[in-house]
Structure 1
């Protein structure tokens, strides 16, 4: 059985057995289920730790190597980097506008009844609000300054605590600087970086053998904790979010793939199905990064130096799904608290959702603090975030899938925008580098 079929089977079985456990073997009556979930948590955590263990060296090696190769080779760093930025901004802007349109038309928060005291007592909300208030106190220029790490090693050590963008900026700068001083094609440093990159991919290859069982465990625990009715009284809100994500995926991405990418969208989606399943199961762009890289180069036949640059950047900087979700949440909360946002405030939400999508950590739940920042900026009570915590994990899985799909789409759009001669030259250069 092919690997993507094993992962899909693990996912489906996890859902089925998780729901059976939720309805027929609740923990209150069957104590042994606690041990079962512990075992599955262990397997899932072990798998994710192996993946996360190599994310930092993978990002550093891929970005430095990709920037060096693009700066020195055909196509040029400026051409690829500029188009990557353009497509990221355009697709993120469309996603934020979809959030604005769907939420204003469908009004998921109108008339929702809830217990304000219960929300205020939620410790998770208070912790998120505290983190958001710290971000809120920063001056506008501080956000830009913080993109440049004071200590790259410290930023790498705290990559999953909000410093991953700074680490990536360092890698881009350093890779560009290396390209200006290394003129010898046989210089050992590019070979070292490539060896590091290949070693991280080899570790991922080993980890993927555990993937079907880990996915089963992760999905089982999620289904067992939530059950089929986990959406509760915010089902309409979840529907609006999923509708927006589907519009971005099947309409916006398809149009860009068919027109700019000169690619059959549905054939493209079929080739990427393993990546989508993996992204949905883990709810982490960073954990999916190695799988997306392998799909881009081996399945989609995107030149490795473009794939390494675009997919690695996109894992943290191209977050269409997160930006869309954050926009829907803020407008939903405004409706819940009967706060009438002006057109200007709603445009502000759109703009901030685009920027927040760039700064969202590529890990499960990474967008929550930024959502609260957006809420505070337009006068929506921070404790309202407690309303969506019950469905956040599921919606996190959905929007992560869109985030990762967007990275692959942009890589295809950039490759298609280059001439056949440039693409052939890039493939030839990569083949020579491997040889």
Structure 2
């Protein structure tokens, strides 16, 4: 097949996703009781291929973040720039999170998704305990960086990589020699990302086939207003709020941004993991959107860890939903407390497994709502989680562009070049 007739990566991923959904739903409704389908397809072939795909993506996250951050940091001529980058990035992530949850609460109060929904007697949820803010700050610094890498503790890896890169920049000749080695390593890791991107349609097909073989759409019925409200607000935030902030703060046309972000959004949607999507997000941001590596290698891993726009939307709507189901009224002060708690918790619970539900439990406790109400929404949360991740990934890239533009590390010509980064899809 000629290059002209060759399908783009986006098209191949969409075909794999749609085919997986159709096959999964067909198997569920026509062979749902088959032990053979369950053993050899759902938990056999689909599970194996899907998990290998996600595991392979996660395999690249730690070396990619460490190596790219070291390369970016040791290239900084002005060490004080790190402080500015950190302040701008964290500030932007907190602002977008606050905007997200504010829109979510307003929409939920307007639509009232919990009206008419009956409480389920078996709706239970036991939240894990979130660490205190002081402990989070202490835990930023690894006592054993190798252990931090083995456990995938992203904030500790970021701190160690920054310190390592600064030391390389300050040490002189040895640092220059070492930089060449890290530059080569970075190229190798990026080539691995390209290889996995080309295998993505098969992994996405398996993930979707397994999900829709196991998950029926019937459960959405009783929670339809909640489900579609969350979905609509996520779409508004990802396709209206993010582009608006980009065009306002970075002064670039948002249509090109959304077009170039499609692959990363599809990866985020299919894997439901910002960390697993991080290699593709970083590659897209630096190779296609014109963000310098010194900025992108910092803002993307940080965003994947603390940027919770999509999760905050779920929390805002879920809080109002649970309050309405239990017949409890929230005051204006309660709503403001929800916004503040969820925004700060996005940093305070960064890197904690199951962070979305832990944050929601914290928010509910803060305004006196029953935590077991989370059990009402868990059934449809997996489907919404996919869209949340796509929105989070879009936010990571948007903030990276804005911060890079403010620092003068943004290649506008590459941003507007439709062919920039096209080689990502070629082996």
1:150-205 deviations in whole A, cap 9, x for unaligned?
Answer: 4333333222xxx43233233334434443x2334962232333333333223223
Which stretch shifts more, 271-280 or 257-266? 257-266
The 8 Å contact of residues 112 and 321 in structure 2, kept in 1 or not, is answered as yes
- The residue aligned with 1:20 is 26
The answer to whether residue 213 in structure 2 is matched with residue 224 in structure 1 is yes
- Supply the distance in 2 between the matched residues of 1:334 and 1:343 (Cα, whole angstroms): 14
The answer to whether residue 57 in structure 2 is matched with residue 51 in structure 1 is yes
The 8 Å contact of residues 95 and 248 in structure 1, kept in 2 or not, is answered as yes
- The residue aligned with 2:417 is none
The 8 Å contact of residues 110 and 335 in structure 1, kept in 2 or not, is answered as yes
* CA shift in 2, pair 1:100/1:410, >3 Å: same
- The residue aligned with 1:83 is 88
- The residue aligned with 1:322 is 311
- Supply the distance in 1 between the matched residues of 2:256 and 2:198 (Cα, whole angstroms): 26
* CA shift in 2, pair 1:213/1:364, >3 Å: farther
Select which of 318, 332, 340 maps to 2:329.
340
Question: How big is the alpha-carbon RMSD for the aligned residues of Structure 1 and Structure 2?
Answer: 2.7
- Supply the distance in 2 between the matched residues of 1:155 and 1:184 (Cα, whole angstroms): 28
- Supply the distance in 2 between the matched residues of 1:57 and 1:267 (Cα, whole angstroms): 30
Q: Which runs of 5+ in 1 are unaligned?
A: 428-435
Q: Which runs of 5+ in 2 are unaligned?
A: 1-6, 415-427
* CA shift in 2, pair 1:196/1:362, >3 Å: farther
1:266-304 deviations in whole A, cap 9, x for unaligned?
Answer: 222111111111110110111111111111122222222
The answer to whether residue 396 in structure 2 is matched with residue 407 in structure 1 is yes
CA drift of 1:64 comes to 2.8
CA drift of 1:29 comes to 4.1
Secondary structure of the equivalent of 2:291?
Answer: coil
CA drift of 1:33 comes to 4.3
The answer to whether residue 273 in structure 2 is matched with residue 280 in structure 1 is no
Select which of 165, 179, 183 maps to 1:175.
165
- The residue aligned with 1:11 is 17
- Supply the distance in 2 between the matched residues of 1:39 and 1:32 (Cα, whole angstroms): 10
Select which of 389, 400, 417 maps to 2:378.
389
* CA shift in 2, pair 1:104/1:144, >3 Å: farther
- Supply the distance in 1 between the matched residues of 2:264 and 2:248 (Cα, whole angstroms): 23
- Supply the distance in 2 between the matched residues of 1:278 and 1:222 (Cα, whole angstroms): 15
Task: Tell me the matched-pair count.
Answer: 407
Which stretch shifts more, 74-83 or 36-45? 74-83
CA drift of 1:323 comes to 2.1
- Taking the TM superposition and a 5 Å limit, the aligned residue runs for 1:100-249 are 100-116=105-121, 118-120=122-124, 125-126=125-126, 129=127, 131=128, 134-135=129-130, 139-159=132-152, 163-179=153-169, 181-184=170-173, 187-249=176-238
- Supply the distance in 1 between the matched residues of 2:357 and 2:37 (Cα, whole angstroms): 33
The 8 Å contact of residues 75 and 418 in structure 1, kept in 2 or not, is answered as no
TM-score by length of 2: 0.87
* CA shift in 2, pair 1:280/1:67, >3 Å: same
- Taking the TM superposition and a 5 Å limit, the aligned residue runs for 1:238-317 are 238-317=227-306
- Supply the distance in 2 between the matched residues of 1:19 and 1:387 (Cα, whole angstroms): 24
- Supply the distance in 2 between the matched residues of 1:221 and 1:92 (Cα, whole angstroms): 32
TM-score by length of 1: 0.85
Secondary structure of the equivalent of 1:210?
Answer: helix
The 8 Å contact of residues 47 and 211 in structure 1, kept in 2 or not, is answered as yes
- Supply the distance in 2 between the matched residues of 1:217 and 1:360 (Cα, whole angstroms): 31
- Supply the distance in 2 between the matched residues of 1:171 and 1:197 (Cα, whole angstroms): 14
The 8 Å contact of residues 306 and 350 in structure 2, kept in 1 or not, is answered as no
